[in-house]
Structure formats: structure tokens, C-alpha cells
Amino acid sequence: MLDKLKIPERNYLNNGHGLASWLLTKDHKRIAIMYLISITVMFFLGGLFAVGIRLELATPAGDFVQADTYNKFFTAHGVIMVFFFLIPSIPAVLGNFLIPPMIGAKDLAFPRINLLSLYIYWIGGIFTLYAMLAGGVDTGWTFYTPYSATGSNSNVVPVALGVFIAGFSSILTGLNFIVTIHRMRAPGMTWFRLPLFVWAHYATSLVQVLGTPVIAITIVMLGVERGLGFGIFDPARGGDPVLFQHLFWFYSHPAVYIMILPALGVMSELISTFTKKTIFGYSFVAFSSLAIAVFGFIVWAHHMFTSGISTYAAMVFSFLSFSVAIPSAVKVFNWTATLYKGAISFETPMLYAYGFMGLFLIGGLTGLFLATLGLDIHLHDTYFVVAHFHYIMVGGAIMGYMGGLHFWWPKLTGRMYSEFFSRISAILVFVGFNLTFFPQFVVGYLGMPRRYHSYPDEFQVLNVLSSAGASVLGLGYFLPVIYLLWSLKKGAIAGPNPWGASGLEWQMQSPPLTENFVEVPIVTHDAYEYEHVVAKEKHLV
């Protein structure tokens, strides 16, 4: 059967050749591919700085780089990974590519704004990279005042400006998704027939649109204080540095949900497809995405328990932080219930999904430790925090991204990758990840603070384990570059629906037409109904 398949003669990849046909395209799929390339570059750049960090921490003494250089390493790692990889990763690549076909639309509502958001992302990236080349920045990705406003001698303004600009890219993507999901659905595609991937992206877009402007204005205030000498946050001039933290975390805590919510959406697609079951409690999973988005905005001050906020406020925020666990747990429970008695299989995307579920669970539960007022006093600014958010961002968001990329790769390119190597890579990522970050829970609990380039000798064993794990993890991430590129030329032809999945996007050819569908699809059944899929496949044979 497979060898009879051919790459369709007309598809979005060969509709126009040359650089201009890409740079001036309004096709959401081509924009997604350009995002894919951009964020991959950023990912490995950010990874390079992580290599520097782990090399330094392999020995207790500060012998690889100066303390100052080390500060610039972790700042660069954080800024690049957060603002230029994680936030755009799933929405701008997979969301951009898949939301229109999933709802049966020809394109996003505003194709030109979509292209604009890519250019804005590039401009923001250029500012940030310029600052890195010009000597870097040493404030940490959080830009805490007063150090960032009056103390630091490094390139705070260009990096902050880069983040500010990239924020607009994020806003425009979110805006586009919201309008698209509201206004571009195909006939019969009601809200409760939407794939959960789309629900998750709708919730993500809300956070992008509501949160990002606050970091923008915060950066503006930081900029006028640093650049023009205004007094806003500087305590020496009567300002309140804690105000900066409030404003910063009003965005940056919800930003965590910009990273994880799309991954949660990917998970729902993967788990349903590879168990061939409808998602248990569809509407609960759908609304839990919205709940996470809204709750995300009322918990931010749990980052500031030791920063001098009022005790009463700390109690309120601690309590509210626990509430986020409810919708998150709803998702994990419902996925587990979906797995129960499902026709479970072990293709690469599903391996990532299993990894995700375990790691997200650990990341989420350790988050509750940190939301506990008393315990946070001990754990704050230790490696426990570092381990916690890497479990969410790497173990959660990046596992979700990798799972989704492997799942939809045949749709993006029309070809399959090597199943053998991709499984190896998934296992390497899982093992390497745990080896890297689990020891950090321990070393953090024992009291090792974050952001120092040297540490007492007794922490060395755990740190060496961590550095060793990072090498395994790096290999796990590098392997896909090779076999995915290889698959572009040599991979087996995938056909329209290699996984037997139920979504509308799998009814398109692979790779899809520029206009996605030959004729506008009319939706007649709910998401995740596999009877129809099976019938169609039989018909094909």
C-alpha cells in the first residue's frame, strides 16, 4: 500500500519557488515552516549557553568562566529559551500550521498580520542577538530592578527592547488565533466539535493577548528609568522594586501557561490518536484549558514570597496558587482514563506523550511545594526551583513540542522519518532529562542556590550527574535534526493519514494544498470519532 503512495503534484511546498515566494508568502503553512527553522536555530543557540552553564558547574571551583561571564550565560540561556523558543514554539509552528485545517478554514483570519508577526519576531531576535554579541547582559532573564535599572553595566536596553518587540509577535499570533477560531470555522464545526488542540490554543491566545502588554509596559518603564533617568522602581528615589516584580510576574507567570497550554493540547491529540479512543471527559479537558488560562493570572505573587510582599497577600496568593492544580489534574486524570482499555501503541509521538505525562506530573506537584509559604522560604532561589520549572518547560513544553513535531511531521512534509532512530531519540531525551534535572531537586533541597558559578565540594556528585545528563539530553535533541532532515529526501511517503487519526487536518493531502482543502469541508461528527476514520481507510484499500 505504502509504496503506491506519491507526494501530491500540487502542494504548498512547490507552489512558488525562490526566496521571495517564502518571504512574501501569506500562507500560514509556509510561515509556520519559517518559524520552525527560526526557533530551531534559537533553540540550539540557547542550548549552547546551557552547555556553558553545565561545563562550569561540573566542578565546584569557578574555573571555566568568570562569575560575570557565567551570569551572562544563564541570562542568555533564559532569555533565548523563554522568549524566543518556548513562547513561540508550539503556537507559532504547530498552531500556525494546524489551526486553520483543524477548523476547516483556508487560512488564518489575518494572513498579512501573521507574516508581520514573523518579521517582528526576527527583529526582536536581531536586537537580542546583537546584545549578546556586544557583550551580553547579566541581569538574569527576570531583569529585576534596581540592578537592571541602575546597577548593571551590560546591554540591558537592547535585550529588553528585543523582548519588547518579540512580545508584539506573540500578541499578533494570539490575536490572529482568537479571531480565526471565532470566525473561520467550517459549517458544522461547533465549539464542542473542535479538537482539544484548538481549545488549548484558544486559551493560550487569551494569555498572550492579555499578559504580554503588561510586560511591554514594564519594559517601557524599565527603559525610561535606565535610559532617561526617570525614577519609578529605584528605591534610592522613593521607588518600589517590588512593583517591578509584580508587573513582571503578572505577565511572566501566565507566560508559563503560554508555554505549557499548547503542549497540553498536543497531548490530547496524541493520546486520543494512539489509543483510538475519544478523550475521556472532552468538555472538562476543554474548559480546564480556559480555567488554567484564567487562574494563571491570579497567582503571580508566589514568585515573590521572599521579596517583601505583605504577609496577608502572600497567604492569598499561596491559596490561589493551589487552585491551578485542579484544572491541571483534571487533564492528567482524564488522559489516564483515556488510556484505560485503549488500543495503546508505542510510536515515537506516543513515547513523548508518556514521558510528558510523568514529567508534567512531577513538575506540577513540585510547584505545589513551592506555592507553600513556609517551604518556599527554604526552597526559594535554590536549584529546587530550577528543577521544578525545567520539569514544566523542558519535560512538559518541549516534550509536547517534540511529540507534536513527530506526530505532524508527515503532514508538514509528506514523509516519514526513521521510526528506529526517533524512538532512540525519545528515550535519550527522557533519560537524559531526568538525569539532568532530578539531581537538581536534591541539590536544591540541600541548599545550593541558583545563579552561582561555584559551589561547595559536597554538591559535586549531584552536579556531575546533572552535567552528564545534559550531554545525553543534548544528543537526544540533536539526533532528530539528522533523521528529520534525512526524511525530507529519503523518508517513506506518508500518505494523508499515516496514524489513522480523526482530525480534519488528516483529511488533507500530505503535504497539503496551499488552500488546504479542495472544497470547504462540512463537519458532521464530533472530534475523536474513529468509526468514520476506519470506514474511510477501508474504502481507500
Partner 1 sequence: MSGHVSPVSLYITIFMALMVLTAATVGAAFVDLGQFNFAVAMIIASFKATLVIWYFMHVKYASKLTKLTVATGLFFLAILLGLFLVDYGSKALTQMPPFLS
Partner 2 sequence: MSNAAAHADDRGHAHAHHPALQHHFDTMAQQKEAAVVGMWVFLLTEILFFGGLFAAYMVYRIWYFDAFAEASRSLSLFWGGLNTAVLIFSSLTMAMAVRSAQTNKRSATVNWLILTMILGTVFLGVKVIEYADKFEHHHVPGYNFEWAHEAPAAEGEHAIAPAAEGAATEGHRQLSLSPAQLQLTTQIYFSLYFTMTGLHALHMIIGIGIMLVITRMAYKGKFDEEYYTPVEMAGLYWHFVDIVWIFLFPLLYLVERHV
Neighbouring-strand partners of residue 382: 449
Query: Which partner from the list partner 2, partner 1, none does 534 bind, CB cut-off 5 to 8 Å by kind?
Result: none
226-245 binders of partner 1 (CB under 8 A): 235, 238, 240
Stretch that binds partner 1, among 46-54, 303-311, 382-390, 394-402 (CB under 8 A): 303-311
* CB of residue 455 to partner 2, shortest distance in Å: 37
Q: Could you tell me the CA-to-CA distances from 234 to 50, 85, 148, 229 in Å, in that order?
A: 31, 31, 10, 10
Nearer to partner 2 among residue 226 and residue 388 (C-beta) = 226
DSSP 33-63: HHHHHHHHHHHHHHHHHHHHHHHHTTSSS--
* CB of residue 168 to partner 1, shortest distance in Å: 18
* CB of residue 300 to partner 1, shortest distance in Å: 8
Report which DSSP code applies to 513. Answer: B
Nearer to partner 1 among residue 298 and residue 442 (C-beta) = 298
- 248-269 b/e with 16+ CB inside 10 Å = b? bbbbbbbbbbbbbbbbbbbbbb
Among 127, 144, 250, 483, binds partner 1 (CB under 8 A): 250
306-345 binders of partner 1 (CB under 8 A): 309-313, 316-317
Among 202, 282, 297, 354, binds partner 1 (CB under 8 A): 297
Contact between 249 and partner 1 by CB under 8 A: the answer reads no
* CB of residue 536 to partner 1, shortest distance in Å: 34
Would residue 137 be called left, alpha or beta, if left means φ above 0 and alpha means ψ between -120 and 50 degrees? Answer: beta
Nearer to partner 1 among residue 50 and residue 301 (C-beta) = 301
* CB of residue 162 to partner 2, shortest distance in Å: 18
Query: Which partner from the list partner 1, partner 2, none does 166 bind, CB cut-off 5 to 8 Å by kind?
Result: none
29-88 binders of partner 1 (CB under 8 A): none
Alpha-helix runs per DSSP H in 276-398: 282-295, 311-323, 325-339, 348-371, 373-379, 383-392
Among 14, 21, 68, 182, binds partner 1 (CB under 8 A): 182
* CB of residue 380 to partner 2, shortest distance in Å: 23
Query: Which partner from the list partner 1, partner 2, none does 105 bind, CB cut-off 5 to 8 Å by kind?
Result: partner 2
CB 220 within 8 A of CB 129: no
CB 171 within 8 A of CB 208: yes
Stretch that binds partner 1, among 113-121, 305-313, 431-439, 462-470 (CB under 8 A): 305-313
Contact between 220 and partner 1 by CB under 8 A: the answer reads no
CB 370 within 8 A of CB 302: yes
* CB of residue 292 to partner 1, shortest distance in Å: 15
User: Which residues lie closer than 8 Å to 492 by C-beta, 6 or more apart?
Assistant: 2, 415, 416
Nearer to partner 1 among residue 247 and residue 379 (C-beta) = 247
CB 331 within 8 A of CB 293: no
Inter-residue long-range contacts of 416-421, CB under 8 Å, 24+ positions, other chains counted:
416/487, 416/491, 416/492, 416/493, 416/494, 416/498, 417/348, 417/480, 417/483, 417/484, 417/486, 417/487, 417/491, 418/483, 418/486, 418/487, 418/491, 419/347, 419/348, 421/479, 421/482, 421/483
Separation CA 68–CA 400 (nearest Å): 34
* CB of residue 183 to partner 2, shortest distance in Å: 5
* CB of residue 174 to partner 2, shortest distance in Å: 8
Nearer to partner 2 among residue 21 and residue 336 (C-beta) = 21
Secondary structure of 71-130 as H, E, C letters: HHHHHHHHHHHHHHHHHHHHHHHHHHHHHHHHHCCCCCCCHHHHHHHHHHHHHHHHHHHH
Rg (CA), the chain: 23
Separation CA 181–CA 198 (nearest Å): 8
Query: Which partner from the list partner 1, partner 2, none does 309 bind, CB cut-off 5 to 8 Å by kind?
Result: partner 1
Nearest Cα neighbor of 499 from 269, 157, 250 is 269
> Cα-Cα-Cα-Cα dihedral of 21, 25, 30, 31, to 10°?
130
* CB of residue 254 to partner 1, shortest distance in Å: 10
Separation CA 60–CA 453 (nearest Å): 8
Nearer to partner 2 among residue 183 and residue 490 (C-beta) = 183
Nearer to partner 1 among residue 153 and residue 311 (C-beta) = 311
User: Based on the number of CB atoms within 10 Å of its own CB, is 104 exposed (0-12), middle (13-18) or buried (19 or more)?
Assistant: buried
Contact between 210 and partner 1 by CB under 8 A: the answer reads yes
Report which DSSP code applies to 508. Answer: S
Query: Which partner from the list partner 1, partner 2, none does 51 bind, CB cut-off 5 to 8 Å by kind?
Result: none
* CB of residue 295 to partner 2, shortest distance in Å: 17
Stretch that binds partner 1, among 34-42, 96-104, 295-303, 398-406 (CB under 8 A): 295-303
Query: Which partner from the list partner 2, partner 1, none does 316 bind, CB cut-off 5 to 8 Å by kind?
Result: partner 1
Query: Which partner from the list partner 1, partner 2, none does 235 bind, CB cut-off 5 to 8 Å by kind?
Result: partner 1
Query: Which partner from the list partner 2, partner 1, none does 312 bind, CB cut-off 5 to 8 Å by kind?
Result: partner 1
Would residue 18 be called left, alpha or beta, if left means φ above 0 and alpha means ψ between -120 and 50 degrees? Answer: left
Positions that interact with partner 2 (CB under 8 A): 105-107, 109-111, 113, 171, 175-176, 178-179, 182-191, 209-214, 216-218, 220-221, 224-225, 228-232, 237-240, 243, 246-247, 250, 515
Query: Which partner from the list partner 1, partner 2, none does 159 bind, CB cut-off 5 to 8 Å by kind?
Result: none
Residues in contact with partner 1 by the rule CB under 8 A: 182, 206, 210, 214, 235, 238, 240, 246, 250, 297-298, 300-301, 309-313, 316-317
